[in-house]
A and B are shown apart, each in its own frame.
Chain A
Amino acid sequence: MAQSIVDFLVELDTNSKLMEAYKKDPVGTATKYGLPEDEIKIIAEKNWDELSSRFDDTSKTIRVINY
Chain B
Amino acid sequence: MALIQGKEHIKEGSLVVVGTGIGVAGQMTLAAKSYIESADIVFMGIMNKVGEHVVSGLNPNSVSLDDLYEEGKSRAVTYTQMADRIVHAVADGQKVCAAFYGHPGVFVTPSHEAIRRVKALGLEAHMLPGVSAEDCLIADLGIDPSRYGCQSYEASQFLFRDYRIDPYMTQIIWQIGLAGEATLSVLNANHSQSGLAMLADILSEHYPSDHELIIYEAATLPICEPKIQKVLLCELEHAKPTLISTLVVPSLGMPDYRQDRLAKLGLTEQQVINYRNPSIN
Contacts and interface: CB of A to CB of B under 8 A. Distances in A.
Interface of A: 6, 9-10, 12-14, 19, 22, 26, 43, 48, 51-52, 54-67
B141 interface: no
Contacts of B66: 57, 60
A64 B107 contact: yes
User: Interface residues of B: mostly helix, strand, loop or mixed?
Assistant: loop
Contacts, number: 101
User: Interface residues of A: mostly helix, strand, loop or mixed?
Assistant: helix
Given A10-B25, A13-B25, A62-B75, A56 B47 contact: yes
A62 B243 CA distance: 7
Q: Chain B interface: which size bin?
A: 35 or more
B29 interface: no
Interface string B94-128: 00000011000001111100000000000000000
Contacts of A66: 154, 156-157
Interface stretch (B8-16, B143-151, B181-189, B273-281): B181-189
A45 to B, nearest CB: 12
Contacts of B108: 63-64
10 closest residue pairs by CB, A with B = A59-B187, A13-B26, A13-B222, A64-B107, A66-B157, A12-B222, A67-B157, A60-B47, A48-B224, A60-B66
B66 to A, nearest CB: 5
Contacts of A6: 49-50, 53
A51 B193 CA distance: 27
A63 B221 contact: no
B220 interface: yes
22 contacts: A6-B50, A9-B50, A9-B221, A9-B222, A10-B24, A10-B53, A19-B222, A52-B220, A55-B49, A56-B221, A59-B187, A61-B101, A61-B243, A61-B244, A62-B75, A62-B175, A63-B45, A63-B100, A64-B109, A66-B156, A66-B157, A67-B156
Contacts of A43: 223
Given A9-B221, A12-B223, A67-B157, A61 B50 contact: no
A14 B23 CA distance: 10
B47 A61 contact: yes
Interface in B15-32: 23-26
